[in-house]
Structure 1
Amino acid sequence: MNRTLPAMTLAISMSCAGLAQAAVPSKLQNLEVDGKEMPVEEVLESPMEGLYEVHLTSGESFYTDSEGSYFLLGDLYENGPEGLVNLSEKKRNERRADRLTAIADDDQVIYRGADEPKAVIHVFTDTTCPYCRKFHEEVPKLNEMGIQVNYLAFPRGGMLSEGARELTRVWCSDNRTEALTAAKQGEVPEEAASCDNPVEQQYRLGLEMGVQGTPAIVLPDGRLVPGYVPADRLAGMLGVKS
């Protein structure tokens, strides 16, 4: 789906609870635009009758009717007892949380405290990013407060950037935590022998999740928090007493 399509905002001013819904039409799995098949990953029923939520392998999503004749780009809201609830953002958060939970520990650079963590956050990072370095200075304090930090690679300049080269060296190091800390202090690890590493995969994952810069913090519930956040404020967002 072309990202240049104009964005539209869909605000639903009625409660969607209790509406009967039909099964997802199989033809929506084979949607075509201009004669080209779209990379459909998943089709779900939306809370609004006759409207379906389509997720693409690129990470983009939109709504369509049962025939795939009309597309709506934007967020779907429910007007309920608690006011307007962004159902689309809620779904995005759930998908982020699920995908991050599925990443193996061996593919991440993890900073743990001495005790069982009270919360685990995922942070997309780049060693060449000044605010990533500033955030990394807060990691010991976060660990002391019981917050575990799981780093993922996100070279903000793309896979041909210096950040990508540095992150690859970190992920190929024998001790990734020491290597990442050193890199963020300006001591880039020496180039190691090539190794299988998830840097490009994690970069693509970040793009699919809506990461546009670093650091990008993902909370346990999947909420994406862009930019640097001090430890005390982050602890408050997680409900962890500092």
Structure 2
Amino acid sequence: MSRTVRIATACLLGLALGAFGALAQAQPWPAPIRSIEDKGVTIVGQFDAPGGMQGFAARAGDRPVALYLTPDGEHVIVGTMLDADGENVSKPKLDALVKTPSRADAWAELEQAHWIGDGDDDAPRTLYVFTDPNCPYCHKFYEAARPWVEAGAVQLRHIPVGILKPTSEGKAAALLAADDPEEAMRAHENNYRSGGIEPMEDIPEERREQVAANNQLMSRVGVRGTPGIFYHDSAGEVQVKQGVPRGELREEILGPKPD
């Protein structure tokens, strides 16, 4: 008999990153819970729930999510459970089990990622940028940042991910595997409109794992689209911008435009 999955509060699942979300280590979860995990939601732990149900704490990107397995073990409900007084009984469980990484913690993880430097190592500003080689908005940001990078004011640290197209993984792997990754990134962006770097067809396991690790990191720090830009604001706090920054925000991220 086929198992069915009833989904409540479907908008929560829209937060998941699909096939390129973080993958939890294999666990013997019931089939309805595994079906949610397969959508890119990371299962963190279990807890006792009212009504004979079993609760599961999960994370979709940087958002905690409660899952409830029905007593028959055949269905899962996704969403918030309220008691007779209208109190949220899910939140305390999620707060206890799901630790959302702070942006400062995320910055420390980004430093350890598989990134490609772009610009002066001694630049006064460093930005980490999740970049898909097939992303037109990543290319726009690359071009927009040239005055700052070329003036030595900013170093971009591109974290190649493979999420948009079938060739994205191979292109990201080719960038990471290049003898001179910075030059390879530059050549790719300069030839972006004609296809950029050729994707690796037979990707070595090491490079495949590096791209997968970048994909997983992107999900873990809550970035749902590229470019995902991490930077320090004027107060020294870590901030994140998804998409191409414009106007005053661009100068907040990159600094005053060089003369």
Partner of 1:188: 197
CA distance in 2, matches of 1:3, 1:216: 29
CA distance in 1, matches of 2:10, 2:91: 10
User: Is the alpha carbon distance of 1:96 and 1:153 closer, same or farther for their aligned partners in structure 2, counting shifts above 3 Å?
Assistant: farther
Unaligned runs of 5+ in 1: 9-28, 40-55, 74-90
Relative to structure 2, which stretch is displaced further, 142-151 or 166-175?
142-151
CA-to-aligned-CA distance 1:127-186 (integer Å, 9 cap, x gap):
11112112112333122261221111233327xx21122111111111111112222323
User: Is the alpha carbon distance of 1:177 and 1:96 closer, same or farther for their aligned partners in structure 2, counting shifts above 3 Å?
Assistant: same
Match of 1:228 among 221, 230, 244: 244
Unaligned runs of 5+ in 2: 1-5, 13-44, 67-79, 81-87, 93-98
CA distance in 2, matches of 1:178, 1:3: 47
Match of 1:38 among 57, 64, 68: 57
Task: Output the TM-score relative to the length of structure 2.
Answer: 0.56
- SS state of the match for residue 158, structure 2? strand
CA-to-aligned-CA distance 1:8-30 (integer Å, 9 cap, x gap):
9xxxxxxxxxxxxxxxxxxxx75
User: Is the alpha carbon distance of 1:135 and 1:167 closer, same or farther for their aligned partners in structure 2, counting shifts above 3 Å?
Assistant: same
CA contact (8 A) 1:170 1:189 kept: no
Partner of 2:181: 176
Mapping for residues 1-242 of structure 1, pairs under 5 Å: 5=9, 31-32=47-48, 34-35=53-54, 37-38=56-57, 56=59, 59-61=62-64, 70-72=89-91, 95-104=102-111, 107-113=114-120, 116-143=122-149, 144=151, 146-157=153-164, 161-184=166-189, 185=191, 186-189=195-198, 191=200, 194=204, 196-197=206-207, 198-220=210-232, 221-230=237-246, 233-237=249-253, 240-242=255-257
User: Is the alpha carbon distance of 1:32 and 1:183 closer, same or farther for their aligned partners in structure 2, counting shifts above 3 Å?
Assistant: farther
Partner of 1:44: none
Percent of aligned positions that are identical? 18
CA contact (8 A) 1:32 1:38 kept: no
CA-to-aligned-CA distance 1:190-242 (integer Å, 9 cap, x gap):
6376252321111122123222221121123332211112597423345x332
CA distance in 2, matches of 1:187, 1:232: 30
CA-to-aligned-CA distance 1:42-67 (integer Å, 9 cap, x gap):
xxxxxxxxxxxxxx596433699xxx
CA distance in 1, matches of 2:171, 2:215: 14
CA distance in 2, matches of 1:97, 1:234: 21
CA distance in 1, matches of 2:217, 2:48: 24
1:125, distance to aligned residue in structure 2 (A): 0.7
- SS state of the match for residue 38, structure 1? strand
- Root-mean-square deviation (CA, aligned residues, Å) is 3.9
Task: Output the TM-score relative to the length of structure 1.
Answer: 0.59
CA distance in 1, matches of 2:91, 2:246: 37
1:6, distance to aligned residue in structure 2 (A): 6.5
- SS state of the match for residue 200, structure 1? helix
